[in-house]
Each structure stands twice: as C-alpha cells, then as structure tokens.
Amino acid sequence: MTTPTFPTSMDRRQFLKRMGLLGGGLVVYFTVGDPSALARTPREGYLGSRIPTDFNAFLRIGADERVTLLTGKIEMGQGVITSLPQMLADELDVAYGAVDIVMGDTDLCPWDAGTFGSLSTRHFGVFLREAAAEAKGVLRELAAARLKVPGDRLATENGAVFDSSNPVKRITYGALTNGNIIERHLDKVPDLENRSGFTVMGGSCLRRDALDKVTGAARFAGDIRLPGMLYAKILRAPAHGAKLKRVDTAPAEQVDGVRVVRDGDFIAVLHAYPDVAEKALRKIDAEFDLPKTGIDDQTIFDHLLENAPAPTINSEGGSIETGRKRAGRTISHTYFNSYVAHAPMEPHAATAQMKDGRMTVWASTQTPFPLKDQVAAALNMPPEKIRVVTPFVGGGFGGKSASMQGIEAARLAKITGRPVQVGWSREEEFFFDAFRPAAVVKIDAGLDDSGRITFYDHNVYFAGQRGSEQYYDFPHHREAAHGSWRGPSTDVHPFAVGPWRAPGANTNVYARELHINLLAAEAGADPLAFRLDHLTDKRMIGVLKAAAEQFGWTPAPPPSGRGFGIACGIDAGTYVATMAEVAVDKPHGTVQVKRVVAAQDMGFVVNPDGAKMQMEGCITMGLGYALTEEIRFSDGKIHDKNFDTYRLPRFSWLPRIETVLVENPDLSSQGGGEPAIVTMGGAIATAIHDAVGAAVFQLPMTPERVKAAMGEG
C-alpha cells in the first residue's frame, strides 16, 4: 500500500481531526495509489489549485447511512444548498433525503475560492461528482469482498451495493464502512454516472432551506448569540479619502456599559446592546479632513475617459478599416452606466470569538477561505488558528466577496477578549458597497446597402471584457477593453468597486444590443430577423427563436410603437435571449415593464425550478439597474444612504415574467446565477426605443433621461 496522501495544505493529523469534528471516527477513509491520476479534472489556476484531490474532503458516509456533503460554497439564495445534494445523490446512488450538507466552514469543508461567477455547479459540481464516483468505486470493491461476489456483478442503488443476479444479496454503505477507518486502493478510475442513470438531477426539488427560512430558524451571521458577546459600532469617515484629524471619545465612554476600543484610526464602541452602542457612537466628537476631488456622479465619465488605460483587444476578426470602407452608413454612439450598489437585504455582519487560542468568525461572506487568510494576516496569527463559518448569507450578488466586517469583528474580539458582533448599518452598507463600476462603451459600426453590418468596433472603458465577446458574424470586428471591472492599478475610481452579478456583462450587453437595434432601425429591418441574419451560432439562434415563440414576436422594424425590446447574450457558458414589452408615459418619461420573456440554454439543468428562480430573480433585479439604480456622490461622499433615495425594484414594478429553458442536456451544466440579468438593460432600452423612437444612452434609464432622449429624437 502506498503512502496515504491528504487534502492540500493539510497533514494526516489535521485531516483525522477534521474527520473527528464531523462526528467521530465513522468515516470512510480511503487512500489511492496515485491521487493525482484520480483527480481527473485538473486542479488549475486560482480557482482550482488548492482544491483537494482526496475525495474524502467532499463527502462522508456515516454508519447511520447518512451522507454529508462538504462544500466551501455558501448559500445566499442562489439555491445550491438544494442542487449540490441532488448531484451527489445521483452520483453516489443514495436517496436525496439521505444527504446532509455543510457549507462554507473552513475547518470542515474543502478549500474553495468563493461563491461567485456562477461556478458552483459547473466547476465545483464536477469535482463533487468525481469524488462521489470514486467513493462509489471503493464501496463496490469493499462489497465485492464482503458479499463474495465478482465486482462486475455488483450494482448500486439507494445507498447499498447488491448482486445484480441476486438482488437480496446486498449491503448498505453504512454497513460497509461500519465505523472503521478503511484504506483502499482504486486501480481504475470509475466513470461518472451517465445522464440516463440520473433520478434526482434534472428534477425540481423544493428548496431545502425553505422551512428554516419561513419559520425564523435560519441563522444569519448577525443572528449568532454567544455568552458575554458585545456589539460593536465603528467610527466611520464621512467620505472616502477623509482623514481623522481630531477625536474625543470621552462622551461615548460615559455611557453606562460602553467600552471604547482604539487602535490607530480604528475606533469602535462596544456594548451588550447594539442600539446602545450606536447611540454612544454618535456622541463621539470627531473631525475629519475632507477630500476635495471635484469628482461626482456628473463628472465621473469625463474623469474615467481622461484616465483610461490603453486598450487590450480581446477578440477581433477581419479588419475594421476594410469594413469601414464597405459601409454606406455608419452609426457611432457612446453609452454610459453609473455606479450601482449590490444592496443585499442583509447588511454585512460578522461574529467573532477567540477561544483556546483559536479565532472563529461567523461571517456573511461569499469567500470564507480568502477571509480566513485575511483574518490570519490582520491578526498576525497562523491560518490554521482561524476558522470561518458561514451561516446563511442574506444576499450577495458579488458584494460580499470582500468581507471587511469579518476582519473588524476578529480584531475587536482579539483586543477585548470577548465575543464581538459587527453589524453594518444600511448607511455603512452603501458606503462600503464596492459598487459595480461606472463605465463607458463606445461603439462604431457600419451597414452596407443591403443592410448587413460591415464592421463593428466595441471599446469598453472600466467595465472589462466580460459580455463583449463577439458571437455575431460580423466580417470585420474588434472588441477592446480599457481597464477591467476591477479598474486599473491606479486609483481611478473614487471608492472601491467590485464584482456585481455578471461583472461588466450588463454594461457591455446593454450597449451592444441597443446599438444592434439602432442598426436594425437604420436598415429598416425587424430586430429579431436582423440578429438572426447575423448569426450562425446554433445555441444563440435557439434561444432567440425560443424567446420569440413564447413572446409571440411578429416582425416590425423599430420603432414600431409597440414597445417591444430584444437582447441576447452569453454569460457563464449560458446563452440567454430576452424580450420585453414596455409602456412609456411620454409626459413623465416613466417606463413600466409589462412583460419579460427569457429563454436560456444552460446545458444540462440540475434543478429546473431552481434555475427558473434564478432567471426570475435576474429579471426582477435587472429592472433596477435598467431604470432607477445609480449612486449619487461627490468628493468621496456617498449621498445615497438608504432605500428612500436608492430605489430598488418593488412589487408594483413586477412585469409578467415567463422563462423558458431550452433543452440541451448533452452539454454539461453551465452557469445559472448571473446570465439572465445581462440582457435586462438591453431588452428594456430597445423596448423604450421601439415604443417612442428614443434611444437612451445612459443607465439607469430614469424618467429625466427618457424625456431628454425623446426631446432629442
């Protein structure tokens, strides 16, 4: 037998200890001859290189026949708490109801880069299924010995291995493991279950978190209660870039039960009640030097263009100059989008406790493993002394990829020696949101006399390339990005920006799809037919036709007065086409979205109803960035501090929503959390144009901007 190997960055002692934490020694513990050979899908790059190769890191089989799925992914509403167990159940051949799941706990779960990029199913899911297939292979070997049946006669179902020629001869997985630590060598890499063997995947399971969430049993990071815990409120600067000049904390310290912690400019007020801490914080007398940047939400676009880095060409074909020469007419426009907040309903929260030399942080985070490393660095503690536990996360959308509140809670717990909870106020949440970046897209394109596009030149500033990749068949095209959505290395943005549900793609797709419609209008063509005329990609044609059929699309060149919009795009490997119907109140410029139809090809669908929930969520959330959401700011101050001025989509906005899943089961599962949102800006912009003949070149398309566009039209 070869030397056992262990999950990356974990030695045998740690590994067994982790197994112990999972409920005693009742663990299947196998080793394999050559683990790297068994890790069929390469563990590459940032996302993959630290993912364990040992399948025990992903699942545990208890003697009680229950299977525990271990994942570094977190549940923030996207539904993988349901779909990942579906995947494991099918691959391991156990009942869906026999699978428990532990998520986002850095002591118990395999390393994970974070829950973002619609990667849980299409990336982590592959490793999970491979782990299950390998575990099943080992269970079959054990069963062959125990049942004295040749391995090729054995089959598995419902958590048991049985003799296919004599099915009463069977043994359960729990009985095979029987509380022992067993080391086994697998000679052959078992195949993944093929689709015909799926009984759980492809079916719609109810959300398994629903019951906890309707009864109040679901715990979020701010719901953790520990004996002796203090709630901390932290002194914040009134503007990004402000420097603390003078501070007097004495008035806060006079409040009964208050403790003030100061570590440089980091000043926190702690109390057994958060509301008392908050009141005491307001008593602190602080003066700040305020920056005068001259940058605000009006001047930001000039500022960005003036500071734009050189372009990176991400895709190109033919020659723009050749295409330009062939164009009889050209259309050039510049598109803008403002900073947009994530605004999850749950503000960032974390609870931290230092105990027996180890720091545990319960955090509202999309990235528990990176947070573990950040806490270790901030506290100057070794990472193995840090544990991050992720309870339910109350919405993320990319905004909880950075988890400063977790570091703050840990610092305060270490300093005070008491458990500490940090819960941001809504104002703090808006201030530190790490917005979707303001961005500019310039598109230049031309038509020949037959109404075909001869060239298409796309330059995006500060949104990055995602969503700009070309899938139309343009003979001459170029897609260039000036800076990424993270911004360039210099601080061009006046505050932090970050990933916002399909980073960059919303901006790029809005600009491209509105531009395509304006080209269709110029050509006098129906915008659906115009798109299809410029497409050979079968998946894109498929989703457009599916959307058109559901919508009942009839051809007419824009503006037809009907208020019908259309947009399509690719995100996270998934194709989506969206059609919208709007009514524009011309005197006021207000837009009511009456109906949205979205068709999506996402490959094999693990949980169709769950996938549709994500599409509906994308459509509804997308109304906001399309119509109202933008951050007002000046000189580093964020003027939107709550939902009174920052308007989220509400019930009265609700259009009739219809979603279509275009069947493509032979393609592996693609992303589901983000794709359907990327078309919302474009679908509504083209619908407004179709309604009133006005193109709105800036997101969000507020009544003022719609009216202004109509005035120019």
Partner 1 sequence: MTDPIHFTLNGRSVRFEGDGERTLLWVLRTDFGLTGPKYGCGEGACGACTVLVDGEPLLSCQTTVKAAAGGDIVTIEGLAEDGVLHPLQEAFVETGGLQCGFCTPGMILKAAGLLRANPDPSRQEIIDGLENNLCRCGAHARIVEAVQIAARKGGGR
Query: Which residues of this protein are in contact with partner 1, per CB under 8 A?
Result: 76-79, 206-207, 209-220, 222-223, 225, 231, 272-276, 343-347, 392-397, 423, 425-426, 609-610, 613, 616-621, 642-644, 648-652, 654, 657
Distance of CA 567 to the CA centre of its chain: 21
Does residue 434 come out as left (phi exceeding 0), alpha (psi in the -120 to 50 range) or beta?
left
Closest to partner 1 by CB, 1 vs 214, is 214
Closest to partner 1 by CB, 367 vs 468, is 367
Closest to partner 1 by CB, 92 vs 611, is 611
C-alpha 461/C-alpha 81 separation (Å) is: 37
Instruction: Output the smallest distance, CB 448 to partner 1, in A.
Output: 41
CA 648, 651, 653, 658 dihedral sign is positive
Q: What are phi and psi of 49, to 5 degrees?
A: -65, -25
Q: Contact at 8 Å (CB) between 655 and 622? A: no
Instruction: Output the smallest distance, CB 257 to partner 1, in A.
Output: 11
Instruction: Output the smallest distance, CB 353 to partner 1, in A.
Output: 17
Q: What are phi and psi of 327, to 5 degrees?
A: -80, 130
Instruction: Output the smallest distance, CB 30 to partner 1, in A.
Output: 37
Closest to partner 1 by CB, 233 vs 477, is 233
Instruction: Output the smallest distance, CB 143 to partner 1, in A.
Output: 38
* Three-class SS state of 10: coil
Closest to partner 1 by CB, 400 vs 705, is 400
Closest to partner 1 by CB, 153 vs 426, is 426
Instruction: Output the smallest distance, CB 261 to partner 1, in A.
Output: 20
Find all residues with CB under 8 Å of 280, minimum gap 6, and list them: 233, 252, 255, 258, 269, 271
**Which whole-number Å values give the CA distances from 106 to 98, 359, 482, in the listed order?**
23, 12, 37
Task: List the one residue out of 188, 164, 160 whose CA is nearest residue 172.
Answer: 160
Closest to partner 1 by CB, 158 vs 416, is 416
Angle among Cα 103, 109, 112 to the nearest 5 degrees reads 85
Instruction: Output the smallest distance, CB 152 to partner 1, in A.
Output: 43
Distance of CA 134 to the CA centre of its chain: 29
Q: What are the helix (H) ranges across 62-201? A: 80-92, 125-147, 173-177
Instruction: Output the smallest distance, CB 580 to partner 1, in A.
Output: 15
Specify the amino acid at residue 656: R
Instruction: Output the smallest distance, CB 515 to partner 1, in A.
Output: 27
Q: Contact at 8 Å (CB) between 409 and 418? A: no
Closest to partner 1 by CB, 77 vs 487, is 77
Closest to partner 1 by CB, 99 vs 343, is 343
**Residue-wise DSSP of 491-529:** --SSS-B---SSTTHHHHHHHHHHHHHHHHHHHT--HHH
* Residue 110, beta-bridge partner list: none
- Spell 234-257 as b/e; 16+ CB within 10 A means b: bbbbebbbbeeeeeebeebeebee
Closest to partner 1 by CB, 400 vs 493, is 400
Closest to partner 1 by CB, 225 vs 245, is 225
Instruction: Output the smallest distance, CB 660 to partner 1, in A.
Output: 15
Closest to partner 1 by CB, 554 vs 642, is 642
Q: What tokens were used for 445?
A: 């394109």
Closest to partner 1 by CB, 37 vs 345, is 345
Q: What tokens were used for 504?
A: 């960059």
Closest to partner 1 by CB, 447 vs 615, is 615
Instruction: Output the smallest distance, CB 29 to partner 1, in A.
Output: 35
Closest to partner 1 by CB, 242 vs 657, is 657
Angle among Cα 530, 531, 534 to the nearest 5 degrees reads 90
Q: What tokens were used for 673?
A: 């959390």
Closest to partner 1 by CB, 229 vs 305, is 229
Closest to partner 1 by CB, 273 vs 554, is 273
Task: List the one residue out of 320, 559, 568, 296 whose CA is nearest residue 454.
Answer: 320
C-alpha 595/C-alpha 465 separation (Å) is: 30
**Which whole-number Å values give the CA distances from 174 to 130, 167, 180, 315, in the listed order?**
20, 18, 10, 53
Instruction: Output the smallest distance, CB 340 to partner 1, in A.
Output: 12
Q: What tokens were used for 153?
A: 């006669």
**Residue-wise DSSP of 337-376:** E--B----SS--EEEEEEETTEEEEEE--S-HHHHHHHHH
Instruction: Output the smallest distance, CB 629 to partner 1, in A.
Output: 11
**Which whole-number Å values give the CA distances from 47 to 77, 112, 314, 367, in the listed order?**
22, 7, 22, 12
Angle among Cα 16, 20, 24 to the nearest 5 degrees reads 130
Task: List the one residue out of 561, 576, 567 whose CA is nearest residue 688.
Answer: 561
Instruction: Output the smallest distance, CB 200 to partner 1, in A.
Output: 17
Distance of CA 456 to the CA centre of its chain: 30
**Which whole-number Å values give the CA distances from 300 to 342, 380, 464, in the listed order?**
19, 38, 17
Instruction: Output the smallest distance, CB 513 to partner 1, in A.
Output: 21
Instruction: Output the smallest distance, CB 275 to partner 1, in A.
Output: 4
C-alpha 186/C-alpha 17 separation (Å) is: 24
Instruction: Output the smallest distance, CB 224 to partner 1, in A.
Output: 9
Q: What tokens were used for 481?
A: 């990005």
